[in-house]
C-alpha cells in the first residue's frame, strides 16, 4: 500500500480526550487514511516523529486576520504554535456587508487598520461586494491556514445605519440587517459575532441581539460575543446565556478574562442546563505596543466629534486646550503607559509616570509633547508588559479546570509590511502559554489537546477536523512538547514584534507540510471553511 505522507513513531494524541499512544499515521490526498501502532506503507515522504507528540492541528477560535490574508497569507506566528485553522470576524468586526471600500472605511474608523493601509489596500487588493466575493478574492490569493468567518454585528449595524448610532434600528434598517445576515450565512459564514463594548454593537439591547441570534440559528450558526463587560463580567456572561437560551443557539464567550471565577462557574451551570456554551480565553497578554502614529490614529478613531473638522490627522486638535484635553482623555491605560524605542536611555522601558515625576512634568503634558512631534520609532506600550485584565495568577484554576475553556489568541491584523506599527507579543505564544498554564495545574496533556482541537471543531461545526482518525482532514502538528513554549516576561525582547513560539517541528495543513522541520513554506494549502466539512 502507498500513501503521500507517513508519520512514524510519534506519541499520538488524537484530540478526542483519550490518552495518547505510540504509533504511526498515514495521509493520502489531504486525508488521514489510517492511524495504528505500526503501519507499513510505501510513502512519498516519511516523517520520523520519534520523541515528538503528534496532535490534530490546533484551532484558534478567535482571531482578526481577514485582511492580513489579503496582503500575506503566510501566518508563520500560527504555524509555529501548531495552529492550522483560525476563525475570523470576531468582536463584531467582519469583511461584509457591501463593498470592500465600505469595509476598509469601517476598519480604519475603528482604528483596526491605518489610514495609509486603507488607501494601499484599495489599490492592491481586488474588490468585493459581498461575502462570496470576499471568499473568491481570498481563495485566489491563497493562505497557509484554514480560515472560517463570522459576520460582525458591529459592521452590519454600522453599514446599514450609516455609522455608529446610539439608537435602535428603524423597522426598515432592521429588515436590511436581517437580510444581509441571512445572505452572509447562506454564503457560508459560520455565525454572528458581537462586540458589546464597541460602538455601534454596544448600542444594541439584548432583545436586538436575540432577534439576530434567532436568524443565525436558522442556519445552525453560532453566536459569539465580546461581552458587555462594562455591566460587570458576571452580568455580561449572563446576557450571553440568556441569548443562547432565548434563541436556542450555540454561544461562545470570547476572550473571557480569568479574573471572574463566578462567570466561569455560571458557564458550567448553563452547560449543565443544556446551553451549548463554550469559552475562549487569552492566557496572557502584553500590552498593545503601538508606535506614536498609531496611538494617535486610535485616539482619532475613538472620537469622531473631536476630529470632525480634521479627519485625516490631529494637528488642529493639539492647538487648543480643549483638543489637548480630549486627546489625553481618550488614551487607554494611561497609568501603565510605558515607552520603548525612545532612543533615550533615560526614558527607555520606563513608564510615563516615572519619567514625568523625575522631570517634574505633568503626565498629560509629557504624553502630548511625545505625541505631537514626529518621533521616528517611539512606541507606547499600553497596558504594561503584563496586562492586568489578563492577570494569569491567581486565577489559573478558572482556565485550567474548566472543560469548556479553549484558548483564543485574539491576534489582531497588524501589518505585515510594517510589523512595528502595532503588535501584542504574547498573543503569538497564546497556545504554548495555555499549555504551560494547564500542565502546571496538573491537567493531562490529552485533555489540553482536546480543548484546542475537537472542542472548537464541535463548537464551530467543523465536523471533519479536530481529530486524528481515519477519514478526517490531515491537519496535524508535531511538537517537541518539552520545548513547546514562548519567552517569559524576563526573557522576551519587547522591541521584536516577530518573536515566535518554539517547539513545533512540523505543521501540516490539509496534508501538506507548511512548517517543515522549523522552516515555513508558502504552500498555501489552507482552505476556506463552511460548516459540516463543506469548503467555500
Ligand atoms: Zn474582542
pLDDT tens figures, 164-191: 899 999 999 999 999 999 999 999 999 9
Buried b (16+ CB within 10 A) or exposed e, 152-170: bbbbbbbbbbeebeeeebe
- Calculate ∠ Cα 139-143-147, nearest 5°: 80
CA of residue 253 to ligand 1 center, whole Å:
10
What is the pLDDT averaged over residues 283-293? 86
Residue 140, C-beta contacts closer than 8 angstroms, at least 6 positions apart: 126
Secondary structure class of 214 (helix, strand, coil): helix
CA of residue 347 to ligand 1 center, whole Å:
31
CA of residue 89 to ligand 1 center, whole Å:
10
CA of residue 254 to ligand 1 center, whole Å:
7
CA of residue 252 to ligand 1 center, whole Å:
12
pLDDT of residue 457: 98
CA of residue 226 to ligand 1 center, whole Å:
5
Cβ–Cβ under 8 Å, residues 502 and 485: yes
pTM of the model: 0.93
Whether residue 309 has pLDDT greater than 50: no
CA of residue 255 to ligand 1 center, whole Å:
7
**Before 275, cis peptide (omega within 30)?**
no
CA of residue 213 to ligand 1 center, whole Å:
18
For residue 483, give the C-alpha cell: 520545548
CA of residue 91 to ligand 1 center, whole Å:
4
CA of residue 379 to ligand 1 center, whole Å:
23
CA of residue 93 to ligand 1 center, whole Å:
9
Q: How far apart are CA 536 and CA 527, in angstroms?
A: 8
pLDDT of residue 311: 43
Element (H, E) at 315: helix 315-319
Residue 130, C-beta contacts closer than 8 angstroms, at least 6 positions apart: 96, 97, 98, 183, 184, 187
Q: How far apart are CA 526 and CA 510, in angstroms?
A: 7
- pLDDT band of residue 310 (cuts 50, 70, 90) is very low
Cite the residue boundaries of each domain of the chain with CATH code 3.20.20.140.
58-286+388-459
pLDDT of residue 305: 58
Give me the CATH code for the 58-286+388-459 domain, please. 3.20.20.140
pLDDT of residue 521: 93
Amino acid at each position: 500500500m502507498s500513501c503521500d505522507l507517513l508519520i512514524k513513531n510519534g506519541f499520538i494524541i488524537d484530540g478526542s480526550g483519550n490518552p495518547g499512544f505510540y504509533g504511526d499515521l498515514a495521509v493520502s490526498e489531504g486525508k488521514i487514511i489510517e492511524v495504528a501502532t505500526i503501519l507499513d506503507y510505501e510513502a512519498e515522504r516519511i516523517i520520523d516523529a520519534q520523541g515528538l507528540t503528534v496532535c490534530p492541528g490546533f484551532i484558534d477560535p478567535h482571531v482578526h486576520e481577514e485582511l492580513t490574508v489579503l496582503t500575506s497569507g503566510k501566518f508563520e506566528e500560527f504555524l509555529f504554535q501548531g495552529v492550522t485553522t483560525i476563525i475570523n470576524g470576531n468582536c463584531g468586526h467582519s469583511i461584509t456587508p457591501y463593498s470592500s471600500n465600505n469595509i476598509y472605511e469601517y476598519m480604519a474608523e475603528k482604528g483596526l487598520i491605518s489610514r495609509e493601509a486603507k488607501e494601499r489596500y484599495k489599490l492592491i487588493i481586488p474588490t468585493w461586494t459581498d461575502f462570496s466575493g470576499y471568499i473568491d478574492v481570498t481563495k485566489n490569493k491563497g493562505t497557509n491556514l484554514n480560515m472560517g468567518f463570522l459576520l460582525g454585528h458591529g459592521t452590519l449595524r454600522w453599514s446599514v445605519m450609516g455609522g455608529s448610532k446610539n439608537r435602535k434600528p428603524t423597522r426598515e434598517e432592521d429588515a436590511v440587517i436581517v437580510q444581509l445576515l441571512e445572505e452572509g450565512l447562506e454564503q457560508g459564514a459560520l455565525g454572528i459575532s458581537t462586540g458589546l463594548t464597541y460602538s455601534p454593537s454596544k448600542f444594541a439591547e439584548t432583545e436586538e441581539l436575540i432577534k439576530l441570534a434567532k436568524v443565525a440559528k436558522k442556519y445552525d450558526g453560532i453566536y459569539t460575543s465580546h461581552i458587555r463587560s462594562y455591566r460587570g463580567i458576571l452580568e455580561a456572561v449572563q446576557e450571553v446565556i440568556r441569548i443562547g437560551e432565548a434563541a436556542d443557539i450555540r454561544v461562545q464567550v470570547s476572550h473571557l478574562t480569568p479574573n471572574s471565577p463566578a462567570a466561569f462557574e455560571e458557564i458550567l451551570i448553563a452547560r449543565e442546563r443544556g446551553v451549548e456554551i463554550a469559552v475562549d480565553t487569552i492566557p496572557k497578554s502584553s500590552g498593545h505596543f503601538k508606535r506614536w502614529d498609531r496611538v494617535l490614529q486610535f485616539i482619532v478613531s475613538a472620537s469622531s466629534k473631536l476630529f470632525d473638522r480634521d479627519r485625516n490627522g490631529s494637528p488642529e486638535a493639539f492647538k487648543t486646550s480643549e483638543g489637548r484635553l480630549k486627546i489625553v482623555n481618550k488614551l487607554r491605560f494611561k497609568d501603565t503607559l510605558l515607552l520603548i524605542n525612545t532612543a533615550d536611555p533615560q526614558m527607555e522601558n520606563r513608564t510615563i509616570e516615572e519619567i514625568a515625576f523625575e522631570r517634574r512634568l505633568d503626565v498629560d503634558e509629557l504624553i502630548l509633547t511625545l505625541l505631537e512631534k514626529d518621533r521616528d520609532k517611539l512606541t507606547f506600550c499600553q497596558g504594561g508588559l503584563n496586562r492586568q485584565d489578563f492577570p494569569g495568577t491567581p486565577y489559573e484554576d478558572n482556565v485550567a479546570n474548566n472543560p469548556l475553556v479553549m484558548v483564543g489568541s485574539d491576534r489582531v491584523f497588524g501589518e505585515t509590511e510594517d510589523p512595528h506599527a502595532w503588535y501584542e507579543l504574547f498573543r503569538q505564544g497564546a497556545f504554548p502559554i495555555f499549555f504551560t498554564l494547564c500542565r502546571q495545574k496538573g491537567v493531562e496533556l490529552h485533555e489540553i489537546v482536546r480543548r484546542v482541537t475537537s472542542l472548537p471543531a464541535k463548537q464551530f461545526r467543523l465536523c471533519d477536523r479536530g481529530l486524528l482518525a481515519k477519514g478526517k482532514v490531515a491537519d496535524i502538528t508535531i511538537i517537541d512538547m518539552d520545548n513547546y513554549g514562548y519567552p517569559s516576561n524576563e526573557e522576551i525582547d519587547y522591541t521584536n514584534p516577530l518573536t515566535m513560539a518554539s517547539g513545533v517541528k512540523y505543521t501540516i495543513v490539509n496534508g501538506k507540510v507548511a512548517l517543515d522541520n522549523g522552516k515555513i513554506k508558502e504552500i498555501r494549502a489552507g482552505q476556506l471553511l463552511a460548516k459540516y466539512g463543506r469548503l467555500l
